[in-house]
Amino acid sequence: MRKYDHLFFDLDNTLWDFTANSYRAMELTLGQNEILPGLSSFDSYFRVYEQINKSLWNDYHSRKITKQTLIIERFSKSLQAFNISGLDWAGLNGQYLGNMALQTELFPGTIETLTTLNARGYQLHIITNGFSEVQRDKLRNSGLAGFFSKIFISEEIHTTKPHRKIFEHALKTTNAKKGTSIMIGDSWETDIEGALEFGIDQIMFLNHGLHDIPDAVKSIQTSPNCTYLVLKHQTRTWFINEIKELITIL
């Protein structure tokens, strides 16, 4: 008899390859605005952008800054680091998000795995931190939308992972029970710790070490595949390197 009925998936860098897709969308956006020639190299710029963007998202999750601050400063700060200033930062952000939504790179085995889980009768849902105007387009354009019964986007719910409210809202809306629900994601801080504190099981997508876990957890993790730890609230924490491994665990 299976343990879970409701599977709650993160989107970015769990199913939809955010790293690859954002790289392509950013290069396209800067090219469309004739910014690329002013950079020493696009790769150098993108590394700076990623660091700044991550820091701003952390502040946004902690409710220290607004969405408007995030979308302005991730472009103003990163481009000013390359001596480029005075641009329409909000306009650049809007164009970038539009280009993001057109990218469709998924992690290997994503469609096949979701098809199998659907066929087995699981209820699949999305819980994602992000902006409404792009997350739904990502799901639709990449062929993912049809797999999911409910889609929960942080901006629409007015809270983000790892805060408890987004998990409470998702389970209440889907009429799911904690004991038969599991969260699947790539971020230890938002997906795994959020679900841990809320009291539901989790699966951490490691992507062969590209998605990191704390050293304290790494030291007691005996095997990256088909094993789990009991870290808090008697919940199970699983680890996978490829999405297709979900079929074995579930």
Neighbours of 206 (CB within 10 A): 21
Per residue in 115-148, pLDDT (tens digit) is 999 999 999 999 999 888 899 999 999 999 999 9
**Is residue 226 predicted with pLDDT exceeding 50?**
no
- Please tell me the distance from the alpha carbon of residue 225 to that of residue 212, in angstroms, as a whole number: 15
- Rounded average pLDDT over 19-46: 97
Contact 205, 244 (CB under 8 A): no
Q: Which of 13, 73, 32, 33 is nearest to 49 (CA)?
A: 73
Residue ranges, CATH 1.10.150.240, the chain: 19-101
CATH of 6-17+106-249, one of 3.40.50.300, 3.40.50.1000, 3.40.50.1820, 1.10.357.20: 3.40.50.1000
Global pTM reads: 0.93
pLDDT at site 224: 54
Helix (H, G, I), strand (E, B) or coil at 39: coil
State how far the Cα of 229 lies from the Cα of 97, in Å rounded to an integer.
37
Q: Which residues contact 184 (CB under 8 A, 6 or more apart)?
A: 7, 8, 9, 10, 14, 191, 202, 203, 205, 246
pLDDT for 149 beyond 70: yes
Phi, psi torsion values for 194, nearest 5 degrees: -60, -45
DSSP one-letter code for 106 = B
pLDDT in tens, 178-199: 999 999 999 999 999 999 999 9
Distance, in Å, from the CA atom of 123 to the CA atom of 118, rounded to the nearest integer, reads 7
User: Which fold would CATH assign to domain 19-101?
Assistant: DNA polymerase; domain 1 (1.10.150)
CATH 3.40.50.1000 domain range(s) in the chain: 6-17+106-249
